[in-house]
Amino acid sequence: MSQPNNRVFSGVQPTGNLHLGNYLGAIRKFVALQESHECIYCVVDLHAITQPFSVWGGPAELANNTREVTAAFIASGIDPARHIVFNQSQVVEHAELAWIFNCVARMGWLNRMTQFKEKAGKDRENASVGLFAYPTLMAADILVYRATHVPVGDDQKQHLELTRDIAAKFNNDFAESIARLQLDTDYFPLTDPVIEGPATRVMSLRDGTKKMSKSDASDLSRINLTDSADDIAKKIRKAKTDPEPLPATLEELAGRPEAENLVGLYAALAEIDKASVIEQFAGEPFSVFKPALADLAVEKLAPINAEMRRLLDNPVEIDAILADGAARARVIARETMQEVRRIVGFLGD
């Protein structure tokens, strides 16, 4: 198989409550990459079950959440006909390659993963083996398609470095076998992260120092992609602020996390820089700025929300998109796995 040179892969976990942070930080980037790259976007349900039932909600929730992420992809403008959208568990090659990578990656490498430490918390003995091996599955997701570019947030950079380490070690450990089979010496590419631009860190509407999160107990802290226009307006109206009006310069926003977050949100939604927002609203109180932000958020999110609702009312349509995407993903993944099996020395075809 020839090496692709502009293939994008990324994944989103179906663990509920997709919010504005997911949209501005990830999904909107996925949409933009469609113009320049061949894109594969995956709802990573195998990753979702690495956490306790209480986090991913159990089987019925998982199915709903998988459809919800798919609907968000499509409603945001990802084209499942020109690119590939599917859920991970439908392409068994991910799990198969992950097993091989479990035998390539070293305990020491995985022991250094900060996300495992965060998610496992204090009770590490009780974390699933899957949670520990999460990064090898993520490497398999990417490398089974030999993807060259992966848009990810800051929190996933370490996993991407691990993916490169696994690719390099595999290429090196099996170099002779790869050469004998006359495959590319760099069989697995060293995948590049696609670094996101500024203004993508969306913070909680109740605390400007915390990231907007699906697990925050207060629903007022986030704008969900399924929120109605009224909900969006209400949440922005109730967003925490300080008593000062907006300043005349960006520098003066420092030390005002809530004000900075709302200005950042306006900039991200309007696709302008923060300085332009400040210029426009310098000296205005939040009683003026918040309604403007609410209008903008509703204008940008209402069409996405409407299309998501339409799709979620038609699960058969979503499932058909996923089945079609999985069939096309499988063609690529099977080809890779056939080669990998020969590289490793497994008999069979």
Give the residue closest to ligand TRP by C-beta: 11
User: Is there a catalytic annotation at residue 169?
Assistant: no
Number of residues that bind ligand TRP (CB under 6 A): 12
User: Is there a catalytic annotation at residue 274?
Assistant: no
> Which CB atom, from 52 or from 283, has the smaller least distance to ligand TRP?
52
| Structural tokens at position 67 | 């459809």
| Structural tokens at position 300 | 């940008």
- Candidate ranges 6-14, 116-124, 227-235, 304-312; the one touching ligand TRP (CB under 6 A): 6-14
CB of 66 to ligand TRP, least distance (A): 13
Question: How far, in Å, are 53, 203, 236, 257, 290 from residue 240 at the CA level?
Answer: 32, 11, 9, 10, 11
Neighbours of 109 (CB within 10 A): 16
Site for ligand TRP in 141-200 (CB under 6 A): 141-142, 150, 152, 156
Whole-angstrom Cα distance, residue 249 to residue 256? 13
48, 13 Cβ separation under 8 angstroms:
yes
Backbone torsions φ then ψ of 344, nearest 5 degrees: -75, -30
144, 336 Cβ separation under 8 angstroms:
yes
DSSP code string of 9-56:
EEEE---S--BHHHIIIIIHHHHHHTTTSEEEEEE-HHHHTTS-HHHH
User: Is there a catalytic annotation at residue 119?
Assistant: yes
Tokens 């949209």 belong to 23
> Which CB atom, from 89 or from 241, has the smaller least distance to ligand TRP?
89
Of 117, 122, 210, 211, catalytic: 211
> Which CB atom, from 50 or from 305, has the smaller least distance to ligand TRP?
50
Of 29, 117, 157, 214, catalytic: 214
Residue 191 per-residue DSSP state: P
Decide: is 89 part of the binding site for ligand TRP (CB under 6 A). Answer: no
Q: Which of 7, 8, 13, 133 binds ligand TRP (CB under 6 A)?
A: 13
Whole-angstrom Cα distance, residue 74 to residue 194? 21
| 40 DSSP β-pair partners | 9, 84
Of 29, 117, 119, 122, catalytic: 119
> Which CB atom, from 42 or from 263, has the smaller least distance to ligand TRP?
42
Backbone torsions φ then ψ of 16, nearest 5 degrees: 95, 160
Decide: is 9 part of the binding site for ligand TRP (CB under 6 A). Answer: yes
Nearest 10 degrees: CA dihedral of 209, 195, 139, 47? 40
The helix/strand/coil state of 211 is: strand
Site for ligand TRP in 24-63 (CB under 6 A): 44, 47
> Which CB atom, from 142 or from 246, has the smaller least distance to ligand TRP?
142
Q: Which of 27, 138, 162, 212 binds ligand TRP (CB under 6 A)?
A: 138
Decide: is 11 part of the binding site for ligand TRP (CB under 6 A). Answer: yes
Q: Which of 8, 10, 37, 300 binds ligand TRP (CB under 6 A)?
A: 10
- Candidate ranges 10-18, 73-81, 120-128, 279-287; the one touching ligand TRP (CB under 6 A): 10-18
End-to-end CA distance of the chain: 16
> Which CB atom, from 267 or from 325, has the smaller least distance to ligand TRP?
325
Q: Which residues are catalytic?
A: 119, 211, 214
Binding site for ligand TRP (CB under 6 A): 9-11, 13, 44, 47, 138, 141-142, 150, 152, 156
